[in-house]
Amino acid sequence: MQATIAFPAMQVVDRLVAECHRFEVSAIDPDIAGQLASELPLEDFVRIVRTFEDDLGRLARQLEAAVASGDQDGYRRAAHSLAGAAAAVGARRLEHVARLGMDHRAQVDPRTIALHVQHEARAALAELAALADNPPGAF
Amino acid sequence: MPGAAARVLIVEDTPTQAEVARALLRDLGHEIRVAETGTAAVEQTLAWRPDAILMDIELPDFSGFEAMRRLRAAGIETAIIVVTAHGSVNHAVEAMREGAVDFIVKPYAKTRLTVTLQNALEKRALATELREVKAQLSRDRFFGFIGASPAMQAVYRTIESVAASRANVFITGESGTGKELAAEAVHRASPRRAGPFIALNCGAIPRDLLESEIFGHVKGAFSGATENRPGAARMADGGTLFLDEIGELPLDMQVKLLRFVQTGSFQPVGASRPEKVDVRFVSATNRDPWAEVEAGRFREDLYYRLYVVPVEMPPLRARGADVALVARHFLAAFAKEEGKRFRAFTREAEAALMAYPWPGNVRQLQNVIRNIVVLHEGERVEAAMLPPMLLRTGSGRAPVSMPMAAPPAPPPPPVAAPPAAWVSARLEPTAWPEPVEEVPPPAMARRPEPEPEAPPPAPWAPPARIEDFLPLAEVEKRYILAALDQVAQDVPRAASVLRINPSTIYRKLQAWRAEEGTG
């Protein structure tokens, strides 16, 4: 489906991410990701992180393709799935960015969203990998 | 189900979410599958029948609520837990309205998820158990039986309880209460159901053939034994041997049967070696078996071998509303069989059926309904279509005769030269019999002794002179009436003997009655 996407409030995400960085909010929620890392066997946690990585790659491509083709529905579906995947592992910054993409009232530039998704996905994966290497309770 | 491995379907289109749920539930030992779309969720549920579903709401093809509606329409009663990222009251309300047992918001902690799932499984298990108990308490069908009365529920429970064991079963009850049906139910509910069910009516077999019928014989064992023939014992190997009217078994045969029951071995007539089989015994009698023991007509040791689990079949008069239930069943079945339009009873007719004590039990009721269906037309059975004795017993006084297609008749004269009045006398007033005033038999009344000394029937011979020949229709009429006399006017039995359909007899009786009316 081809549609014109308007994006007047393009600084919203930048501001949000900047605030996160200013207050040193980590890419992942330690309550959620930490709990998964501490409660599950390592192989299960690693499997979840790998599944998340696969999801990110697939959904980011879908998101970018939807942006390039102006497919509004495809764009929102990809953003929705990204938000769900991110929430499952506690990747809260990525989730927030994806939810902005889902919210048609925010009218954020999809290209900005796509860029920030890439950025936050890398940050979340890095922190999850670190968590897998050194789960809470380990010493 | 709680504590036991269950089937859990995770309906989730985001693999990360599904993997998290799967990992959090892994410790519980449940079998887990994942469906990524609403369509896949419905298909997998119908095919796999999970005990619980974790249902995401936002799915690629249609919503989780729509999937729930489709499952409910398909009669699926799986415990569904709605999983959503939106913790709004509206979502929770809609989830419950669509039949969810619980609601959980993503992301969830392991404890929250496992407790929610276990609660849902426990609730479902309790609901299932409750439904099964209710169904058992109110079931109106059990194998071949029709009846929802407490008396029949007790019979069903006993049969179910005993079926799985090897214990011998002894069924008592008045004639027509369904003793053979109970024996078949024991067999069909048992692990032997794939094996044979062999029924032997001990009262219907001539004494000198009993041993051969039960144990078989070898070629040359007696005159006429031209080949080896297996008996009921061999044929029932691996299954159930039903010995009906066991009280009619002569004492000498009881000794042989006792040995068979004790050892599982028997010796065919004329055989030099015993054979061993694996048989479960189900016996039945309409007598009081212990009274028979006390009277010396039934061996005490055989009694104890066979009378392990007693099943007492209640008389129809003790089954309350079952009378109407059974009557409606027969009405539907016979109407279909006879191509009639009957669908129901009028209130008066049903009340008359309920008030009558049915001394002949279900078999008598069956005959009455068959007769009504054959002789009348309409959509509803009116009270006027019932036999007069049913209408006269509203006070509850127990009449005792079986309803018959024609009144009890004097002993039949020779077929060749019956008195002219004989046929018309029995067809004249009505197709229904007058009640015979005699004391109704007690629950375990002794049957009339068989008459082994009765001479065998003489072979039929045609008239010696041509002028003595009768019209074929007249011969048929006399022959059918004679057969009815021989079986106490039991139309289905007479039909069986004559190898014709009972409806043929009913139609002919109706026609003859009409002839009498016009003649």
B310 and B334 share a domain? Answer: no
Task: Tell whether A55 is covered by a domain.
Answer: yes
Q: How far is CA B31 from CA B49, B212, B285, in A?
A: 12, 57, 51
B310 and B358 share a domain? Answer: no
Q: Which domain holds residue B220?
A: 145-314
Number of domain units in chain B: 3
CB atoms within 10 A of CB B426: 23
pLDDT for the residue numbered B451: 42
User: DSSP string covering B30-98, please?
Assistant: -EEEEE-SHHHHHHHHHHH--SEEEEES--SSS-HHHHHHHHHHTT---EEEEEES---HHHHHHHHHT
Per the structure block, which two tokens stand in for B108?
Answer: 């969830």
B179 and B131 share a domain? Answer: no
Task: Tell whether B379 is covered by a domain.
Answer: yes
Task: Tell whether A81 is covered by a domain.
Answer: yes
The band of A12, judged by pLDDT with boundaries at 50, 70 and 90, is low
Parallel, antiparallel, or unpaired for β B79-84 and B102-105? parallel
- DSSP, collapsed to helix, strand or coil, labels residue B142 as strand
Q: Which of the listed residues B82, B101, B135 is the one where a domain comes to its end?
A: B135
B309 and B322 share a domain? Answer: no
B304 and B166 share a domain? Answer: yes
B124 and B156 share a domain? Answer: no
Most confident of A130-139, B78-87, B127-136, B399-408: B78-87
**Average pLDDT in the B216-233 region?**
88
Q: Domain with B261 in it: what CATH number?
A: 3.40.50.300
Task: Tell whether B470 is covered by a domain.
Answer: no
Task: Tell whether A26 is covered by a domain.
Answer: yes
* Contacts (Cβ under 8 Å, ≥6 apart) of B208: none
B16/A48 CB distance under 8 A: yes
Q: Nearest by CB to B23, from A44, A83, A90: name it.
A: A44
d(CA A27, nearest CA chain B) in Å: 16
Q: Which of the listed residues B314, B346, B369 is the one where a domain comes to its end?
A: B314
Q: How far is CA A90 from CA A26, A87, A93, B115, in A?
A: 10, 5, 9, 21
Beta pairing partners, B79? B52
pLDDT tens sequence across B44-78: 999 999 999 999 998 989 999 999 999 999 999 89
Is residue B362 a contact partner of residue B353, using CB atoms and an 8 Å limit? no
* Contacts (Cβ under 8 Å, ≥6 apart) of A103: none
B310 and B323 share a domain? Answer: no
B358 and B265 share a domain? Answer: no
- Collect all residues from A whose CB is shorter than 8 A from any CB in B: 32, 35-36, 39-40, 44-45, 47-48, 51-52, 54-55, 77, 80-81, 83-85, 87-90
Provide the ipTM.
0.81
CB atoms within 10 A of CB A11: 12
B128 and B77 share a domain? Answer: yes
Q: Domain with A47 in it: what CATH number?
A: 1.20.120.160
Say how many CA atoms lie within 13 Å of B361 toward its Cβ.
Answer: 18
Most confident of B101-115, B135-149, B444-458, B475-489: B101-115
Whole-angstrom Cα distance, residue B367 to residue B476?
A: 22
Whole-angstrom Cα distance, residue A68 to residue A61?
A: 10
Q: Which of A105-119, A121-135, B281-295, B316-330 shows the lowest per-residue confidence on average (mean pLDDT)?
A: A105-119
User: In B, which residues are within 8 Å of A87 by CB distance?
Assistant: 17, 85, 106-107
As to burial, measured by CB atoms within 10 angstroms (0-12 exposed, 13-18 middle, 19+ buried), residue B327 is buried
Q: How far is CA B398 from CA A63, B314, B333, B360, B402, in A?
A: 86, 16, 28, 11, 12
Task: Tell whether B34 is covered by a domain.
Answer: yes
pLDDT tens sequence across B399-454: 333 333 333 333 333 333 232 222 222 333 333 433 333 333 333 333 333 444 44
Is residue B318 a contact partner of residue B207, using CB atoms and an 8 Å limit? no
Task: Tell whether A137 is covered by a domain.
Answer: no
B229 and B253 share a domain? Answer: yes
User: In B, which residues are within 8 Å of A88 by CB distance?
Assistant: 14, 16-17, 19-20, 106-107
Q: Which of the listed residues B392, B420, B441 is the one where a domain comes to its end?
A: B392
The band of B468, judged by pLDDT with boundaries at 50, 70 and 90, is confident
Number of domain units in chain A: 1
d(CA B27, nearest CA chain A) in Å: 9
- Collect all residues from B whose CB is shorter than 8 A from any CB in A: 13-17, 19-20, 23-24, 26, 58, 60, 85, 106-107, 109-110
Q: Nearest by CB to B85, from A36, A39, A84: name it.
A: A84
Burial B367-389 (b: 16+ CB within 10 A, else e): bbbbbbbbbeeeeebebebbbeb
pLDDT for the residue numbered B318: 95
Whole-angstrom Cα distance, residue B291 to residue B325?
A: 34
Beta pairing partners, B199? B242
B16/A35 CB distance under 8 A: no
